[in-house]
């Protein structure tokens, strides 16, 4: 049962924005227990240089181990593709003592197997267990570890560690957090603050332009915190009408207002034990700002129409693309609330600041996912397409890139993508490129998205220009974000 639970627990994490190091650490700890071993390690083969690593840590207190290509027993397994069982490591010429010297561990017996889809498939990593209690590893242990290694290959393929080239060994180390792509210096700074914040219950404020991935990063804070098994509840503050905002956040009692025919729990109550994410918090109505301030201070609230004081154990994450200092100066946002939510500030860089290499890496990542979704061949960008993406300013950031790649994959029946991102007509964004072949829903979504960009990200202004309600704009954009998760 312990051996089965290892795969179950790992599978439960692969769809979350959990730290890659935490994923590998869990695999090692549970595998060691299942194999009755003192230690276990899942080494990854870096496709860029063939080295083996135990993680992709960004924090200095959590360094990863590295082996050069072919170094040690694990390095031998990565190159040869064969399972190795050693009863006494000290007498084996392939054994490298440098890892023991670094960790202070004394290796005696070793069992290592290649992580790959099958005998003829390229090696993605090496799973290794050390020092079995009561004696050396046996043939039954070796058969189990080989079977487990095949399953681990399948699990890795569902994370952001998957290989870029199915025919070549190794995986691409795209970043330290699963489902979040990026290794640029600007993103490294984000990861460092994010992982430090996740160790605590401190309130986090993400600041950055629309479309930079603030929601995904907020989920990463939750997934890497002690609250990861609790709920992650999102509130889009742009959709909260003033009269109903308090009810949405804190719930209401039966009869509290016309149409309130039953008691309803609010989002704060639903987030008990987990994380509450307030997206675009600057749009929160003034009355609700006061109620939120009281909740942050005391973790206490009342449902609308109720007298009972309730409490909720909630961690708060917020996001905004507007200048909060300006909003405070103009009286649109409470100054005391402003100081309460900016305990840990994380500035999320725009896509153009992350570098050309990261733009192309993100595009390839999105293309792989959309090709699987739409049943298209393995995608390949032409040199001209890559150059056009490098030159483009991406005012809509990662979201714009994602939408462009989705369209390009759909329209590339042979998998070859030679399309260029649409060029904006002047600084005012007077034009929008909508290709043939899109559904009406997708075409509408792109037009609304362009309208919001033209309105400097202010959805209310875009809604006025489109002659629809602000909620309609938010609903159309939200459908697109939900479908790309």
CA-to-CA dists, residue 370 to 377, 381, 408, 412, angstroms: 10, 14, 10, 11
Residue bearing tokens 């010297």: 101
Query: What residues contact 453, with CB distance under 8 A and at least 6 apart?
Result: 210, 395, 396, 429
> What's the pLDDT tens digit per position in 84-97?
999 999 999 999 99
Report the mean per-residue pLDDT for the chain.
Answer: 91
Q: Are 169 and 117 contacting, i.e. CB atoms less than 8 angstroms apart?
A: no
The tens digit of pLDDT for each residue in 134-159 reads 999 999 999 999 999 999 999 888 89
**Band of residue 485 on the pLDDT scale cut at 50, 70, 90:** very low
- φ/ψ of 52, rounded to 5, equals -110, 135
DSSP code, position 161: T
Tens digits of residue pLDDT in 382-406: 999 999 999 999 999 999 999 999 9
Task: Please tell me which residue, 462 or 399, carries the higher pLDDT value.
Answer: 399
Q: Would you say 260 and 252 are in contact if contact means Cβ atoms under 8 Å apart?
A: yes
Asked if residue 427 has pLDDT above 50, the reply is no
Joined together, the tokens standing for residue 111 give: 């069992």
Contacts of 310 (CB under 8 A, 6+ apart): 269, 300, 301, 302, 303
Sign of the dihedral defined by the CA atoms of residues 288, 290, 295, 301, in that order: negative
Q: How far is CA 63 from CA 17, 21, 373, in A?
A: 20, 10, 36
- Quote the CA–CA distance of 206 and 132 in Å, as a whole number: 46
| pTM reported for the whole predicted model | 0.85
Cβ neighbors of 424 (< 8 A, separation 6 or more) are: 393, 395, 430, 431
* pLDDT score, position 430: 46
Q: Which has the closest alpha carbon to 316: 208, 244, 236, 222?
A: 222
pLDDT tens digits, one per residue of 39-56: 999 999 999 999 999 998
């Amino acid at each position: 049962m312990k051996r089965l639970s290892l795969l179950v627990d790992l599978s439960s994490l692969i769809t979350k924005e959990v730290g890659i190091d935490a994923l590998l650490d869990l695999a090692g700890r549970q595998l060691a227990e299942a194999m009755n071993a003192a230690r276990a390690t899942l080494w990854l083969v870096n496709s860029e240089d063939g080295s083996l690593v135990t993680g992709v840590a960004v924090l200095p207190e959590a360094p990863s181990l590295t082996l050069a290509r072919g170094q040690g027993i694990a390095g031998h397994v990565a190159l040869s593709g064969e399972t190795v069982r050693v009863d006494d490591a000290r007498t084996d010429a392939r054994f490298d003592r440098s890892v023991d010297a670094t960790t202070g561990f004394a290796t005696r017996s070793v069992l290592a197997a290649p992580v790959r889809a099958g005998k003829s498939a390229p090696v993605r990593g090496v799973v290794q267990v050390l020092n079995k209690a009561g004696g050396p590893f046996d043939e039954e242990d070796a058969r189990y570890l080989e079977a487990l290694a095949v399953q681990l290959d399948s699990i890795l393929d569902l994370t952001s560690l998957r290989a870029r080239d199915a025919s070549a060994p190794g995986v691409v180390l795209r970043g330290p957090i699963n489902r979040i792509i990026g290794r640029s210096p600007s993103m490294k700074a984000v990861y460092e603050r994010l992982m430090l914040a996740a160790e605590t219950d401190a309130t986090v404020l993400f600041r950055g332009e629309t479309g930079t991935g603030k929601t995904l990063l907020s989920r990463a804070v939750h997934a890497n915190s002690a609250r990861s098994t609790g709920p992650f509840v999102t509130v889009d503050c742009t959709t909260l009408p003033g009269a109903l905002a308090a009810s949405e956040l804190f719930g209401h009692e039966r009869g509290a207002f016309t149409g309130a025919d039953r008691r309803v729990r609010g989002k704060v109550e639903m987030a008990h034990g987990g994380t509450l994410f307030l997206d675009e918090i600057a749009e929160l109505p003034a009355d609700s700002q006061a109620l939120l301030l009281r909740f942050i201070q005391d973790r206490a609230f009342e449902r609308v129409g109720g007298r009972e004081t309730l409490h909720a154990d909630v961690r708060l994450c917020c996001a905004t693309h507007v200048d909060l200092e300006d909003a405070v100066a103009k009286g649109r946002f409470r100054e005391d609330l402003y100081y309460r939510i900016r305990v840990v500030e994380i500035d999320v860089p725009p896509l153009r600041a992350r570098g050309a290499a990261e733009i192309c890496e993100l595009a390839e990542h999105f293309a792989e996912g959309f090709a699987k979704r739409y049943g298209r061949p393995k995608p390949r960008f032409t040199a001209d397409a890559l150059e056009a993406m490098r030159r483009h300013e991406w005012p809509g950031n990662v979201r714009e890139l994602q939408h462009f790649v989705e369209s390009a994959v759909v329209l590339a029946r042979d998998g070859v993508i030679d399309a260029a991102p649409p060029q904006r007509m002047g600084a005012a964004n007077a034009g929008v490129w909508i290709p043939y072949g899109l559904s009406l829903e997708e075409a509408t979504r792109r037009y609304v998205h362009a309208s919001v960009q033209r309105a400097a990200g202010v959805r209310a202004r875009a809604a006025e220009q489109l002659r629809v309600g602000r909620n309609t704009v938010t609903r159309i954009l939200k459908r697109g974000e939900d479908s790309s998760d």
